[in-house]
Structure 1
Amino acid sequence: MAGTKQGSKTAPTDDTPLGPTGRPYRGFATPPKLDSHGPARIISLCNQKGGVGKTTTTINLAASLASYGRKVLAVDFDPQGALSAGLGIQTHEIPTIYDLLVDSKRDPHEVIVPTRVENLDIIPANIDLSAAEVHLVNEVAREQTLSRALLKITADYDVILIDCQPSLGLLTVNALTASHGVLIPLECEFFALRGVAMLIETIDKVRDRLNPSITLDGVLATMYDARTLHSREVLERVVDAFGDDVLETVIGRTVKFPDASVSGMPITEFAPEHAAAQAYLRLARELVSRGAVA
């Protein structure tokens, strides 16, 4: 990928305080500006459990990376269209991701919609997408339909974030087949842990059969409440299970997220000084530092 060298981590010292994950809390340097843009690295935000923060993370991570000068495309791949709504996009009577899936000759540029956030575009979705799996089931190489569509626009962006629906069906397999990496938002709640093994198994199957280069970019703890023993214990178990794959950045629980969603704005613009906005900016810096994003 084109660009200058990655931002560096601040080395921890013996007196560095521990973060929520039990590791030394490190700062991540502001990413340097890129000399040029593209080709994009494609990352799916995936978890078959609903309500774990996939859409919230897609919106705010995309906006945070855009604020650091990255050209970002967010792909709404959920028939509920929450990503589109969360970025203030009206999806009635406009082409959507569904049109790209069912019409291989359609130019993806016709479906891209700019958002009010500089450097951030979106391919929207609406309820039409729910019919896509039925349409694709008889297609040749149906798992690669999204990949073929995105291939035509990767040169225009530095990162493409796919907000997956809460299932492990054909649409999610399409997203994983198209992706270089997977980011798993995981709510700090016991029942959220139960389905992760199944998701990892699905990722492994996609790696074996469809996309050998896909990697796990990280597990992101969301809806964390340090005041509760339950949250702390769940996060400890996540770190035990996934080790260094657990991102150091942790997203806390706050009512600001639904307030921002109603306003159709990322929290980084709705309440830029809020701790949640700063957490997503830190997440963007951490992913650049890890090499997951240019």
Structure 2
Amino acid sequence: MGKIIAIANQKGGVGKTTTSVNLAASLGVLEKKVLLIDADPQANATSGLGLDVESIEKGTYQILEHTIKPEEAILETSAPNVHIIPAHIDLVAIEIELVDKEQREYMLKKAIEGLKSQYDYILIDCAPSLGLLTLNALTSADSVIIPIQCEYFALEGLGKLLNTIKSVQKIHNSNLDIEGLLLTMYDSRLRLSNQVVEEVQKHFSEMVFKTIIQRNTRLSEAPSYGESIINYDASSKGASNYLSLAHEIIKKNS
């Protein structure tokens, strides 16, 4: 039975999509079957794996609307063993459209429940907000990875996110776990980066992944070529960081 992991943080620019794409690719290379669900209207995970966003006709939007079966939206990607349910800008409208629906927080859960048996891991790339889309992702997930960038306001907003997770656990999904906090954009030369690492490890000890994602030029270049870091430059620091994270997650869940 597969595990559903949401990758969430309402702050933008913390490395959610980078993590979703490259963790998916790393798990794929380690011979796990992976489905990545792009639940962000910006559709960066979709384009980051080489798909043309403009030509997407079936994706997360149609699944949440329940107008198609999720299987109809699944596409292959440039990464081995990785499939994707893509997103399109039309996903912006879903928050408004779901507002009046009954059980609106469970739309994604209902749609993807049947896919769990077909994959080892289902990763959900969440939008940078705590709106209905993210709520749907957290309600359908078994656990959540929270990327935190090693920068000045890193912990700002983390309390809010943890409170949201608590209320999801209380109301919608009592089985939701925190898979781990992932430190991203780490630069060992900066005192601030090191302070953030220390602070996060001090406050959240066991919850923090041992793997730290370092700042890496190759990592930021890869999406513009529609490739994961594994495809783009397997020998880069970024690739070894994400492979290490994938190993850590597999070990934790075995």
Relative to the length of structure 1, the TM-score reads 0.85
Q: 1:88, 1:264 within 8 Å by CA — same for their partners in 2?
A: yes
**Partner residue in 1 for 2:144:** 182
Q: State the number of aligned residues.
A: 253
The yes-or-no answer on 1:101 pairing with 2:81 is no
* Deviations 1:98-145 (CA, angstroms, capped at 9, x unpaired): 01111x252111100101222100000011000001110011100000
Cα distance in structure 2, aligned partners of 1:98 and 1:44: 17
The one-letter code matched in structure 2 to 1:96 is G
Amino acid at match of 2:117: A
Q: 2:158 aligns with which of 196, 218, 221?
A: 196
Counterparts in 2 of 1:82 and 1:54: CA distance versus 1, 3 Å: same
Q: CA deviation at 1:91?
A: 2.4
Unaligned segments of structure 2, at least 5 residues: none
Q: Structure 2 CA distance, aligned partners of 1:107 and 1:234?
A: 43
Larger Rg: 1
For structure 1, list consecutive stretches of 5 or more residues without a partner in the other structure: 1-38
Distance between the aligned counterparts of 1:105 and 1:268, measured in 2? 34
Deviation at 1:40, TM superposition (A): 1.4
Matching residue of 1:149: 111
**1:123 partnered with 2:109:** no
- Percent identity over paired residues: 43
Q: Kindly provide the amino acid, as one letter, of the partner of residue 230 in structure 2.
A: T
Does structure 1 retain, via aligned residues, the 8 Å contact 2:60–2:91? yes
Does the 8 A contact of 2:154 with 2:196 survive in 1?
Answer: no
2:195 equivalent in structure 1: 233
For 1:52, the aligned partner's letter is: V
**1: CA distance between counterparts of 2:208 and 2:143?**
14
- Give deviations 1:6-48, integer Å, cap 9, x for gaps: xxxxxxxxxxxxxxxxxxxxxxxxxxxxxxxxx2110000000
CA-based RMSD: 0.9
Name the counterpart of 1:7.
none
1:96 deviates by: 1.3
Q: Which has the higher helix share?
A: 2
Is the partner of 2:180 in helix, strand or coil?
strand
2:118 corresponds to 1:173: no
2:97 to 116, 132, 135: 135
Question: In structure 2, what is the Cα distance between the partners aligned to 1:107 and 1:118?
Answer: 24
Counterparts of 1:92 and 1:109 in 2: how far apart (Å)? 20
Contact 1:63-1:117 within 8 A present in 2 as well: yes
2:196 aligned with 1:218:
no
Q: Does 1:84 align with 2:61?
A: no
Q: How far did 1:156 drift?
A: 1.0
Mapped to 2, the partners of 1:210 and 1:107 lie a distance apart of 23
Given the alignment, which residue of 28, 32, 47 partners 2:9? 47
